[in-house]
């Protein structure tokens, strides 16, 4: 199955412009042991920027010939260029339990759609920031790498984040530049540690959007 169009220059340019226009996606709903941003909040924060730049993200459920249930997420551009990602939900749906199986399946699908959506547009949610200071700091240091490879880090949080990035097999400079992480913005460094799994997904998908299903 195809994961991208023959050319991607126009869609990359459009997505680059849209990403700097995204509104903050704030985790403001409490779950069991954490907070999260519901899917409608993610859409509200990003949809206008996407549409203004000729982008859309349709998602659909498909059943393959072998019986697998797949969530297909497409990032499309008005030029006809596109990226696609595919998420196999088969085992998750089989294991979905609860008094109402349809409710369990709905939760699984919604959860997966949210993560697939954020991953394909290169966005992530963040903790609440009541006074807006952290958001402004991020803007001031956007696209600055956290630290040069030949500069020894001093702050334990910087060391911890660098170790996380190294253990994931990613390049530190590319990862921190992609997410706009700067060693001058320690609250952002801490948030990056707390939300590392989400950041890793969006970073990897930006370099290899979607895994082709064999």
Examine the domain organization and report whether 75 and 35 are in the same domain: yes
Examine the domain organization and report whether 27 and 87 are in the same domain: yes
Examine the domain organization and report whether 65 and 114 are in the same domain: yes
Residue 210 lies in a domain: no
Residue 213 lies in a domain: no
Instruction: Count structural domains, the chain.
Output: 2
For residue 97, the model assigns a pLDDT of 61
Distance of CA 80 to the CA centre of its chain: 23
* Confidence (pTM): 0.58
- What are residue 69's phi and psi, to 5 degrees? -100, 120
Residue 208 lies in a domain: no
Residue 201 lies in a domain: no
Nearest alpha-carbon partner for 192 in 162, 169, 168: 162
Examine the domain organization and report whether 166 and 88 are in the same domain: no
Residue 111 lies in a domain: yes
For residue 98, the model assigns a pLDDT of 58
Examine the domain organization and report whether 143 and 48 are in the same domain: no
Q: From CA 61, how far away is CA 183, in angstroms rounded?
A: 41
Whether residue 147 is predicted with pLDDT greater than 60 in this model: the reply is: no
Examine the domain organization and report whether 108 and 184 are in the same domain: no
Whether residue 143 is predicted with pLDDT greater than 70 in this model: the reply is: no
Examine the domain organization and report whether 118 and 20 are in the same domain: yes
For residue 1, the model assigns a pLDDT of 80
Examine the domain organization and report whether 84 and 12 are in the same domain: yes
Examine the domain organization and report whether 117 and 13 are in the same domain: yes
For residue 175, the model assigns a pLDDT of 82
Q: From CA 129, how far away is CA 136, in angstroms rounded?
A: 10
Residue 211 lies in a domain: no
For residue 176, the model assigns a pLDDT of 83
Residue 84 lies in a domain: yes
How many other CB atoms sit within 10 Å of the CB of residue 179? 22
Cα distance between the two ends of the chain: 8
Examine the domain organization and report whether 101 and 47 are in the same domain: yes
Last residue of a domain, one of 125, 144, 174: 125
For residue 208, the model assigns a pLDDT of 44
Whether residue 202 is predicted with pLDDT greater than 50 in this model: the reply is: yes
Tens digit of each residue's pLDDT (9 = 90 or more) over 113-131: 998 999 999 987 765 443 3
Examine the domain organization and report whether 103 and 173 are in the same domain: no
Coil, helix or strand at residue 92: helix
Residue 209 lies in a domain: no
For residue 204, the model assigns a pLDDT of 67
Greater confidence, 134 or 205? 205
Mean pLDDT score of the chain: 77
Tens digit of each residue's pLDDT (9 = 90 or more) over 61-77: 999 989 899 999 999 99
Nearest alpha-carbon partner for 190 in 150, 121, 117, 138: 138
Whether residue 56 is predicted with pLDDT greater than 50 in this model: the reply is: yes
Given CA atoms 4, 63, 198, 114 in this order, what sign does their dihedral have?
Answer: positive
For residue 212, the model assigns a pLDDT of 35
For residue 21, the model assigns a pLDDT of 94
Tens digit of each residue's pLDDT (9 = 90 or more) over 21-52: 999 888 766 544 456 778 888 999 999 999 99
Structural domain harbouring 137:
130-194
The bridge status of strand 26-27 relative to strand 126-127 is parallel
Examine the domain organization and report whether 100 and 152 are in the same domain: no
Poorest-pLDDT segment among 80-94, 132-146, 170-184: 132-146
């Amino acid at each position: 199955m195809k994961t991208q169009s023959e050319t991607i220059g126009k869609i990359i340019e459009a997505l680059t412009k849209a990403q700097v226009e995204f509104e903050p996606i704030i985790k403001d709903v409490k779950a069991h042991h954490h907070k999260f941003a519901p899917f409608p909040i993610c859409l509200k924060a990003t949809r206008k920027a996407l549409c203004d730049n000729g982008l859309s993200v349709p998602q659909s459920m498909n059943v393959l010939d072998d019986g697998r249930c797949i969530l297909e997420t497409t990032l499309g551009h008005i030029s006809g260029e596109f990226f696609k990602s595919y998420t196999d939900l088969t085992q998750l749906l089989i294991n979905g339990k609860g008094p109402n199986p349809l409710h369990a399946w709905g939760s699984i699908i919604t959860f997966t759609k949210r993560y697939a959506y954020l991953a394909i547009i290169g966005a992530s949610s963040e903790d609440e920031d009541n006074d807006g200071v952290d958001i402004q700091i991020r803007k001031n240091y956007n696209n600055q790498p956290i630290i040069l490879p030949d500069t020894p880090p001093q702050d334990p949080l910087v060391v911890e984040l660098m170790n996380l990035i190294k253990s994931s097999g990613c390049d530190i400079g590319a990862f921190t530049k992609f997410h706009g992480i700067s060693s001058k913005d320690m609250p952002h460094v801490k948030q990056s540690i707390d939300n590392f799994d989400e950041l890793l997904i969006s970073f990897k998908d930006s370099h290899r959007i979607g895994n082709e299903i064999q």
